[in-house]
Structures are given as structure tokens and as C-alpha cells.
Structure 1
Amino acid sequence: MREIVFDTETTGLSFNSGDRLVEIGCVEMINRIETGRTYHAYFHPERAMPAEAQRIHGLSDAFLSDKPKFHEKVEELLEFIGDAMLVAHNASFDFGFLNGELGRLGREIIALDRMIDTVAMARQRHPGAKHSLDALCTRYGIDRSHRVLHGALLDAQLLCQVYVELTGGRQIGLTLVSDEEIAIPVLDEDPRVAQPRPMRLFPLSDDELARHAAFVARLKNPLWGADASG
């Protein structure tokens, strides 16, 4: 099963209010194991970066000034995503911006039935607890010491580890083949009933027979030589 764990950074909280996507980071997982394939891009937002947004992710107007616009990278982004399920933390936010940018270009938006929201999963599994990415990393002992500012690819990589924990823990990755590929032996008899082993024959060589006869000949008054009537 192929899944894409992704995260976005934006100029604000609402695409419909004029905010834009400025960064996306995607990590490929197959059967809940990271494959090492990632996609990461920055986008020129075609508007000024609000100071409050810059304080969160550190992406300034100057940094983004020479970055491509979304329409210049959309094809390679969609090619990487393919038809995989998409995993995000507070996924409606990230889907809102991704589909907003796609809709702005007249492209087909991504169906919401492909969305997996790890915030919803965390609320169900840990009701009443904090469900931020930082809080879940702390809960599951995931090292985030290198996370100073929000960054789309780094956050997606951390979310991969959180997602594995939310879906059953690290032991999920131990299965390297699918159930269909595992050969299950079919027993002809009930394994709970002890079955007798077939008799094994150990034939003697002529030399072994000759040495045995010589040994027996040296025995004095062997029992099998006594007179049974005596």
C-alpha cells in the first residue's frame, strides 16, 4: 500500500482569503515503511509574506523571490503523489491549500476520500490529550531536537513516525511480504496427534558382520548357548 505523508507551509490560514502555498514536503511510504523517496519544493506566493506567518516557518519575501510559482512545479508534484492516499496532520488545512492551488489553475482537485487526518486519529486514540505534532512526538519518544522552525519536509518526516505509532507501532514494518505471498503449509494429519515415526534400517557391511562374529566367538558360556532344559 502506497501512501504519501505531506505537510505544507503557507502565507496564512485561509486560501479563500487570499493566502497561498509557499512550501510542500512529501514522503513516500509503502506498507507504512519510508522508501527514501521524497518531494520538496518552495513556491513564490505572488504576494507579500505576513510577519506572523514568517515567524512560524522563517520563509521571507527575499528567500521566496526567486522560487518557482506553483504552476511551474504542479506536474512533477502530481506525478510524485500519483493515486496514493495522502496523510497530513490537520489534513483539511493542507488539502484546502493544495486543492485551492489546483483549482486556481483549473486542474482536477484531489478527492477528499484520499485524505487521512492524523489529528483525527490522535483524538480518537488519546482523547483529552494534546494532539499537536510536537506533543505526539513527545508522547512517542520521537526526536525532534533539530526542529527549530516549521519546515514542510522535516514535519512530514516526523509525521511519518507519528503515523506509524498511531496505526499500531513500529512492529508494523516487520512484515516484508504481503499475506498473499506467505506460503502456509497444509498438514495431512492433525498436528495435535502424535504420529509414529517410520522404522529406520541400518544395514551392516560384510566387514562389520565378520568382526561381530569374531567377538561373539570369544565369549565364554554365553547365555544363548546354555541348555534351556538344565
Structure 2
Amino acid sequence: MEFMDGGTLSDVLRAVYLEEGQIGAVCRECLQGLRFLHSRQVIHRDVKSGNVLVGMDGSVKLADFGLCAQLSRERSKRSSRVGTPSWMAPQVVRGEAYGPKVDIWSLGIMGLEMVEGEAPYQREARLRVFELIERNGPPQTAEPQAPLGSPARLPAVLPAGRRGQALVCPGTAAASICDLRRSCLQPGCSDHLSQASAGRMERTRLRLRKTPCPATERSGEGHACSSV
């Protein structure tokens, strides 16, 4: 099995915000992986940053195929509620018949995750997440007016002298991701992780304020769940 020495995309997102070109590079590589799976009638069903691996050479790989489903002529759809709550498509949440397109929804949620630092409703309890996905439809960014990579979107994530350095896109996808991952491993970045987490909690609170709802129990990050 190939060793990816850069860790997961989730590790990167806990350290820095991504620049637009870097987000595009990750999405392109993931789409290539999904095209391969879908051409063979396979649904991944758990696309998220924790299942995307990066290498120090700038490579990006889709991983964790434990929840994949093989489609066939006799069974061209699936209906099991499988995946990680915040990244699940509405059809999966409702237990409706679905096909490979649910992976595209999950990739879109991962795109929002790369922009915001965490997935929509990620801090909510599992059943609450299902309710919000069904009721709200496609989620939106909390601050759509702020350009990606601008100081307004980088509160306390990196030291002031390194904010530009970690978010510069050198021109190629591989170099961009490679430089990004190396910048995450440089001294000083870890000192700001707790401040970054506080900022993400505040953005989550502002996002949920736009959708009034009864108070529910809060929980940690969602984990994979399934029901046949």
C-alpha cells in the first residue's frame, strides 16, 4: 500500500486556511478519483477531508473505501443510510434510492469545509444534522462576501508574518499542495491551532443563528453511521 507522508486533508485544515487555487487542486484530484470509481459503478459514500490523503510531493489521494457500494444492472441504486452525517446528501439522509451523484454532494460539502475550516453542522448532534440537511438544503458559506485567502478569512490561524507564505499558490497543483503541507509542519503553526478552533466555533454559531431552531444537545465531530 502506498504511504502518504503528508497525513490527511483534515490535518491541513486544522492548521491553515486554503487559498482558492489549492482548493481547486484538491477538488480536481478528488474528482479524478471519483471518475475512476463511478466509471466502474462504485459509490464511495464517505467523501470528506478525513478520507483524503496528501503527500509531501503534492499528491492527493482519495482513501478509505470501507463504505463503498458496487452497483450492477440488477441493482443500480442503493438506499442505505451510510456515511458521516455532515457530508451526507439529502437522499442518503432520507433513505431514498441514490446513485453515484451523492459523492458529488459530499465533495461539495468538503469544498465548503476547505473554505470555512469545518463542514456545516459538524458540531451538531447526529440527528440534529439530519434535520438541518433535510430542512435547509444546500448549505452556504458563512461569509460569502470575503474573498478566499483574504485577511478577513484568516483570523488567528497563522502568525502575521506567515499568513501570505502558507497561502501562496506557486502555479502548479502539486507544488501548491506540497508547499502548503510543508508550511503546516513549520514551527509556530501549532501555536495557533487553539485560536483557529475558537474562530471556527464562532462561525458555526453565526451560521446556525440564521436558522432558528429548538435547542438540542451538542456533540463532537460526527462519525460514520449506517443503517440498512
Give the TM-score range, shorter chain.
under 0.3
Bigger Rg, which one? 1
**Higher-RCO chain (CA-CA 8 Å, sequence separation at least 6):** 2
More helix by share: 2
- TM-score, structure 1 length as denominator? 0.24
More strand by share: 1
- TM-score, structure 2 length as denominator? 0.24
